């Protein structure tokens, strides 16, 4: 089994608790002074203490696909409360980890040659995705 590790300066348990509080069906699996292993909606992760600095960049990020606007709002608001917003559904949480919060319908819109340009134009204007605006754009 392979799973991602988020390496922090300190606070591995606190970070795991933060992520568990945001994702449904999540739980702590193990904790020791060095590392915490947990599941977010069935996907295993580890936070690890000991990085020289929290130096996250866009080379690694996590994607969340959401069925409803309420889900998008939930994740977006949780991450940007102490983090930062960016364009096209990208944001950073309070630890600097990058997340892209997407509507599940985006793959369908982007794989259709008729709706892809409309969808791309619409989401390039957004920070947080708005499903109603996207649906209106691809319907034109």
How confident is the model over 88-107, as pLDDT tens digits?
999 999 999 999 999 999 99
Q: Kind and range of the H or E element at 66?
A: strand 61-66
- On whether both 85 and 101 belong to a single domain, the answer is yes
**CATH code, domain carrying 129:** 3.10.180.10
- What is the Cβ-side half-sphere exposure of residue 25, based on CA atoms within 13 angstroms? 4
Q: Where do we find the tokens 């348990």?
A: 13
When pLDDT is averaged across residues 136-140 and rounded to a whole number, the result is 92
How confident is the model over 29-73, as pLDDT tens digits?
999 999 999 999 999 999 999 888 767 887 889 999 999 999 999
Question: Could you tell me the residue range of the domain that residue 87 belongs to?
Answer: 58-140
How confident is the model over 107-121, as pLDDT tens digits?
999 999 999 999 999
Give bridge partners of residue 99 from the DSSP assignment. Answer: 62, 91
Give bridge partners of residue 118 from the DSSP assignment. Answer: none
- On whether both 66 and 44 belong to a single domain, the answer is no
DSSP state of 139: H
Between CA 37 and CA 1 the distance in angstroms is 13
Tally of structural domains, the chain: 2
């Amino acid at each position: 089994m392979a799973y991602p590790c988020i390496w922090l300066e300190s606070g591995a348990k606190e970070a795991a608790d933060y992520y568990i509080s945001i994702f449904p069906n999540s739980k702590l699996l193990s904790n020791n002074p060095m590392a915490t292993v947990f599941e977010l909606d069935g996907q295993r992760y580890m936070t690890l203490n000991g990085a020289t600095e929290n130096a996250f960049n866009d080379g690694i990020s996590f994607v969340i696909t959401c069925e409803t606007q309420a889900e998008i709002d939930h994740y977006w608001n949780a991450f940007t409360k102490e983090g930062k917003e960016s364009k096209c559904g990208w944001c950073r949480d309070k630890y600097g980890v990058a997340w892209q919060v997407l509507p599940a319908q985006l793959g369908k819109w982007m794989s259709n040659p008729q709706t892809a340009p409309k969808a791309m134009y619409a989401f390039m204007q957004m920070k947080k995705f708005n499903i109603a605006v996207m649906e209106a754009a691809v319907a034109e």
